[in-house]
Amino acid sequence: MSRTRTITTVAVAVGCLVVAVVATVTLFLSGSRTIVVASHDATVQPTLDGDVVVRTGPLLPDVRRQGDGPVGVELVLGKTEAGSADELIDRYAFIASQPEAQVAKVEAAVRDIALSAAIRGLGIGLVPLAVWLLLGPHRRGELFRGLRTRRGAVAGVLLVALPLALWQPWDGDAETQEAEQDWIPLGTFLGAAVPLPSEADGIEVRTGPTTTQTRRLIGSAVSTYDKSKAFYAEAAEAAADLELRQPEEGETVALLVSDRHDNIGMDPVARAIGVAGGATAVLDAGDDTSTGQPWEAFSLDSLNGAFDDLDRWAIAGNHDNGPFVIGYLADLGWTTFDGEPAEGPGGGLVLGVDDPRASGLGDWREETGLSFTEVGERLADAACASEERIATLLVHDANLGRETLARGCADLVVGGHTHVQRGPEAVLGEDGQVGWTYTNGTTGGAAYAIAVGSKPRRDAGVSLVTYGEDGRPVGVQPVRLQTDGTFVVGDFAPLEYAEPAAD
């Protein structure tokens, strides 16, 4: 290869690389994603100033904080269903006390924008190379010679003018109120009367016509944040030291949660209890949300973030109305149910069903007008039709498994719904088969449909279900966090089974 050809090849390659890089950066900075974050529809757009900026709308001040790297992000909050500014501010504070899942979601969106921009930028960068190769040396020579002519000069000017016409750098925006406002530290905005936690260092708000009432709301949010973070952090630390029954060789422990009702503060506490009890799996008996709407994705993100390294099974409760909750968990990798049993903790079979007050089971999920009793009978039919005995029946309301236990087709029915822990209770079924029913309390400490707050409204409970080598449940141990931050550890209740009588 001649020296001239080598220089030309290198020049073309460098030119293509420059085009690819410029296109990638341009596409990255102009790209955006719409996600559900902090209970809002939100638009995420990356920046290169290193700041994390949250634009809250016309009624509340915007917030920003310096990030850890050169890439920043701007979040424009959109629609939410909060009924009042007070409720919205309290929700912000509560979510901010457990921000890991929401931060990870925004980071994932920025990575997705970057990957998309890189692929598209690479494609744009290859266009000049493709044109160069398609033209061939003879045609390229003709084009270069044509540049010296008057027509070639006109073509060159047009090539420069075209991107300028598309860019239009002279078209500036009008002066706005936002441009006239300054960023000030949060402490200055609230005043010395409101003590700030150390995590608030570096947070700034944009000044504007903010009312005294808004300042009070934000001050209240700071207090809620501080109390919530301290309460649940101390509870998680204390949970790690609980004296719980440890699994013996060959046993598997599953953590049973139910009725979280958006209380993401309890997720690290539940995880700590699971670790202390040797849990390697999670059974979710539903009511993770209050209404089953997309704005509650923050709760499901938090739940998944706490247990994404464990085996996970889930059903939807009556408050998880509609397809969103169970579909979202399925997309996150949770095992959900369509009428067929699945391999469960310890290798035994688990069969689950979404609460019939939201949906049904298998190929009859779309049927309407089925009563609670009818759904229980259909569930029993599915359990008894299994070639292998069902070890765990996962439902939201344990009463849904009464017919299955009466027929002797399952070892253990687990649920929640009542917000009160009950059982385990033995049930003698057909042919002398013994099954058990167990109801977990409310993991979110919920007194009503939503459990957002600086601490649980009532005792928050989880349960540890132990399985033997054959996948059969052999015992249950409940654990409750009381509203004063202390724990009540229940005794390990063994589950024993009588062999069916011989004919």
End-to-end CA distance of the chain: 92
CB atoms within 10 A of CB 432: 13
- Here the tokens at position 13 are 């390659």
Cα three-residue angle 333-336-339, rounded to 5 degrees: 150
One-letter amino acid for residue 398 of the chain: A
Burial of 249 (C-beta count, 10 Å sphere; 0-12/13-18/19+): exposed
Question: What phi and psi, each to the nearest 5 degrees, are found at residue 490?
Answer: -80, 165
Average pLDDT, integer, range 68-91: 70
Largest CA distance in the chain: 106
Lowest average pLDDT, out of 61-65, 102-106, 138-142, goes to 138-142
Strand ranges, E, within 119-233 = 183-185, 204-206
> Residue 502's pLDDT is what?
47
> Residue 272's pLDDT is what?
93
Comparing CA positions, the residue from 102, 62, 8, 27 lying closest to residue 208 is: 62
Residue pair 330/296 in contact (Cβ under 8 Å)? The answer is no
Question: What phi and psi, each to the nearest 5 degrees, are found at residue 477?
Answer: -135, 115
Lowest average pLDDT, out of 35-39, 126-130, 155-159, 300-304, goes to 155-159
Tens digit of pLDDT for each residue in 268-286?
999 999 999 999 999 999 8
Burial of 481 (C-beta count, 10 Å sphere; 0-12/13-18/19+): buried
One-letter amino acid for residue 374 of the chain: E
CB atoms within 10 A of CB 123: 12
- β pairing state of 434-439 and 410-415: parallel
Separation CA 293–CA 80 (nearest Å)? 10
Residue 153 has pLDDT above 90, yes or no: no
More confident position, 262 or 5: 262
Instruction: Give the model's confidence band at 444: pLDDT under 50 very low, under 70 low, under 90 confident, else very high.
Output: confident
Return the exposure string of 209-222: e unless at least 16 CB atoms fall within 10 Å of the residue's CB, then b.
ebeeebbebbbebb
> Residue 424's pLDDT is what?
93
Instruction: Give the model's confidence band at 315: pLDDT under 50 very low, under 70 low, under 90 confident, else very high.
Output: very high
One-letter amino acid for residue 428 of the chain: L
Tens digit of pLDDT for each residue in 176-226?
445 556 777 766 666 666 666 666 666 777 666 555 556 666 666 666 666
Average pLDDT, integer, range 442-450: 78
- β pairing state of 40-47 and 51-55: unpaired
Average pLDDT, integer, range 137-156: 66
> Residue 335's pLDDT is what?
93
Instruction: Give the model's confidence band at 436: pLDDT under 50 very low, under 70 low, under 90 confident, else very high.
Output: very high
CB atoms within 10 A of CB 359: 18
Comparing CA positions, the residue from 425, 426, 451, 441 lying closest to residue 478 is: 441
Residue pair 414/256 in contact (Cβ under 8 Å)? The answer is yes
Lowest average pLDDT, out of 14-18, 403-407, 458-462, goes to 14-18
Separation CA 474–CA 251 (nearest Å)? 9
> Residue 330's pLDDT is what?
92
Tens digit of pLDDT for each residue in 217-270?
666 666 666 677 778 888 888 998 899 999 999 999 999 999 998 888 889 999
pTM value? Answer: 0.74
Separation CA 346–CA 250 (nearest Å)? 8
Which residues have C-beta within 8 Å of that of residue 415, sequence separation ≥ 6? 258, 285, 394, 395, 396, 397, 398, 399, 400, 401, 438, 439, 440
DSSP 398-437: GGGGHHHHHTT-EEEEEE-SSSS-EEEEEEE-GGG-EEEE
> Residue 395's pLDDT is what?
93
User: Which neighbouring-strand residues pair with 45?
Assistant: 74
pLDDT mean across residues, the chain: 79
Residue whose tokens read 């457990």: 98
Length of the chain: 503
* SS3 readout for 6-27: HHHHHHHHHHHHHHHHHHHHHH
More confident position, 313 or 448: 313
Q: Which helix (H) or strand (E) holds 312?
A: strand 311-314
Helix-, strand-, coil-residue percentages of the chain, each rounded to 5 = 40, 20, 40
